[in-house]
Structure 1
């Protein structure tokens, strides 16, 4: 696609990208492909994005004032926190101060911290489970006291993490289990606030996930899928997404209405949003999350394949004040698609991947994050994925039959 970002006599326009992890490299590549000068910030010294970007600062993206100074010194005309909750509010902060394209900072902050999100849902009439905030200093006895007014099971989680990091379902008030859950939640908390909320019993077999894209406060791209989970690992961490979602027309319409209503209430102007919803036993959609960023686990790439629209490029263009046609209602898609996150069930050394002859014809892309011979950890959050398989099937029956026995078709050697 022809680049449209040159300023006569001034050279290419600059975009600030917050985060250079393996999941974020496609956004840097897309920006360069469009002709933008890419300025990257990431606090990790070994992030892969630094080898792709034109300019790199090894600095923390949660330091809003520092990021703003860098943005001004580099004279950027757009800022993008692709696929990261951590820097989403930083991006909005910079853009508001510099008069660049952005969603309202207050709304991004609501979507970035779960206690703010739950309060917003409750105050504005959206379905919301009972919840209580807890300090990071809370003890097991504090949890027990708080839970006395709530219905079991309950969920304990940090309020500013993603990818199911630090999340535990408590089906009893056993003190040892609570202490373990507190340790997990505290380990992934940056803001010092934890959340205790009632668990929503699902009336649909899978959590609804995927991404949507907003243009002029209207959802125009509907990438509603459903999440695949490994029950052997507790069933909390997504190990992939499937398309179509499996929802019937009434359920899908209800999900659409709920998402659009929330987008409108928050005043979201543009961009890709990651969504997770549970359909309760009575059919009510409950938001687990609406995140002010593109989804992880390469969801934008998966949806780009399904829709024939480059969502990664769209994120870059809209951040720079440009536009492109991203309208997609799902009706034009053919076939069934799924991703499968390659993951270890135990800590060890990754020594190989074996795909069965039955699944191999359905794999149209394979991305490995870890090389053979490298150490890997048991998959208890999305950051520990070894890689991802992209698969296509002729129909839903074929797809679900394959995933019912996925461990027979995808075998990772961990020693």
Structure 2
């Protein structure tokens, strides 16, 4: 029986835990929230923060684990690499994973190696950040260097709002460091999705159009639709640039989560390349769309099992994930669905009950549930995903800004 340590036990992190249990592995979970549902599934659980690499390493040593997984978590990914490197378990180089997980290090790496990259600097002090924002000219993006799920991200239009944007980013940063970078105008949809590395090669990738809700925080994804609608020649450039990056970093195994854009002149720009599986049900939707189970490969790779069977497969059909969210702050009353939407729902999970406090959507921490959707055509999928307020609404009472 293989012993596998999962860093995180949140609702979005249940799929690999369930797979490991199905395979007969001994499952151990750890994070700082003892009520997270993954703990109830595990053989044993521990109240240890996934970002405390030395505490997790001590736990892993004591438990004599055979593999470690940080599923859908940027903050936990460096810890998983650190533990894997120290114990000689299947893993990627710690410095490479840290570079991908931290926006300041990633931007510096891209610039040093000839990738397209926005002008960007990172700051501990707000006045230095203010001076750089003035030099760039508005609008600029303000982000924590080490958060995920678009938490603490602001598109700053006016300098008068910099203090609030800086404080918001700071509140989501463990390093207490904030990125200020120029805004790059994209052509068409931002691209999301997941990939997987086998023996240093990008063996598989499945990309999607990313959707946002203009009625709340238009910077936070509310879902992805598969497959991506961009020209295949552009996506080949993205593939090749990803492989160049993996070679430079010495990445060898495991999942990748993508966010990138193309500009009007056809240039490719990395926004993020997370060294882990995507949230927002991306692996689950990819499984529906391609029959490729990246959840299985993530667990198997962490245990050093053979993953050579993984290869590219095109998406079939029209599939989306959707993050249920509120446009208002208040108390949850109900979830309203249009009649036409009901026919497209393949899976649905609601994490709140009547009376629970909900917030206006500002980041992944405000997600209230999830859906997997199937559509009849690409046009129908794009039209509905871009205007989901017509078909899905969270009803709240005592709404307030």
TM-score (ref. length: structure 1): 0.92
* Higher mean C-alpha displacement, 72-81 vs 251-260: 251-260
Q: Structure 1 43/245 Cα, relative in aligned 2: closer, same or farther at 3 Å?
A: same
Q: Which aligned pairs between 1:86-105 and structure 2 lie closer than 5 A?
A: 86-105=75-94
CA contact (8 A) 1:220 1:329 kept: no
- 2:9 is equivalent to residue 14 of structure 1: no
Distance in 2 separating the partners of 1:237 and 1:382: 8
Distance in 2 separating the partners of 1:92 and 1:356: 45
Residue of structure 1 aligned with 2:203, choices 209, 220, 229: 220
CA contact (8 A) 2:141 2:153 kept: yes
CA contact (8 A) 1:78 1:320 kept: yes
Tell me the equivalent position of 2:316. 334
TM-score (ref. length: structure 2): 0.96
Residue of structure 2 aligned with 1:387, choices 355, 369, 385: 369
Residue of structure 2 aligned with 1:61, choices 37, 50, 67: 50
Render the CA deviation track for 1:326-369: whole Å, top value 9, x for unaligned.
32242xx3211111111001112222122212121111111112
Residue of structure 1 aligned with 2:226, choices 243, 247, 252: 243
Tell me the equivalent position of 2:393. 411
SS at match of 1:189: coil
- 2:138 is equivalent to residue 152 of structure 1: yes
Q: CA RMSD in A?
A: 1.3
Tell me the equivalent position of 1:25. 14
Q: Structure 1 404/321 Cα, relative in aligned 2: closer, same or farther at 3 Å?
A: closer
SS at match of 1:147: helix
Distance in 2 separating the partners of 1:95 and 1:219: 21
Render the CA deviation track for 1:288-342: whole Å, top value 9, x for unaligned.
1001111111111111111112211111110000124332242xx3211111111
- 2:102 is equivalent to residue 113 of structure 1: yes
Tell me the equivalent position of 2:33. 44
Deviation at 1:404, TM superposition (A): 4.2
Deviation at 1:225, TM superposition (A): 0.7
SS at match of 2:295: helix
Deviation at 1:282, TM superposition (A): 1.6
Q: Which aligned pairs between 1:315-334 and structure 2 lie closer than 5 A?
A: 315-324=298-307, 325-330=309-314, 333-334=315-316
Distance in 2 separating the partners of 1:83 and 1:144: 33
SS at match of 2:222: strand
CA contact (8 A) 2:200 2:251 kept: yes
SS at match of 2:11: coil
Distance in 1 separating the partners of 2:47 and 2:31: 5
SS at match of 2:389: helix
Distance in 1 separating the partners of 2:266 and 2:77: 31
Residue of structure 1 aligned with 2:328, choices 326, 335, 346: 346
Render the CA deviation track for 1:95-125: whole Å, top value 9, x for unaligned.
1111100011110010111100000000011
Deviation at 1:394, TM superposition (A): 2.1
CA contact (8 A) 2:290 2:316 kept: no
Tell me the equivalent position of 1:5. none
Unaligned runs of 5+ in 1: 1-11
Residue of structure 2 aligned with 1:198, choices 176, 182, 193: 182
Distance in 1 separating the partners of 2:185 and 2:261: 8
Size of the aligned set, in residue pairs, is 396
CA contact (8 A) 1:307 1:328 kept: no
SS at match of 1:359: helix
Q: Structure 1 128/32 Cα, relative in aligned 2: closer, same or farther at 3 Å?
A: same
Distance in 2 separating the partners of 1:352 and 1:148: 45
* Higher mean C-alpha displacement, 364-373 vs 110-119: 364-373
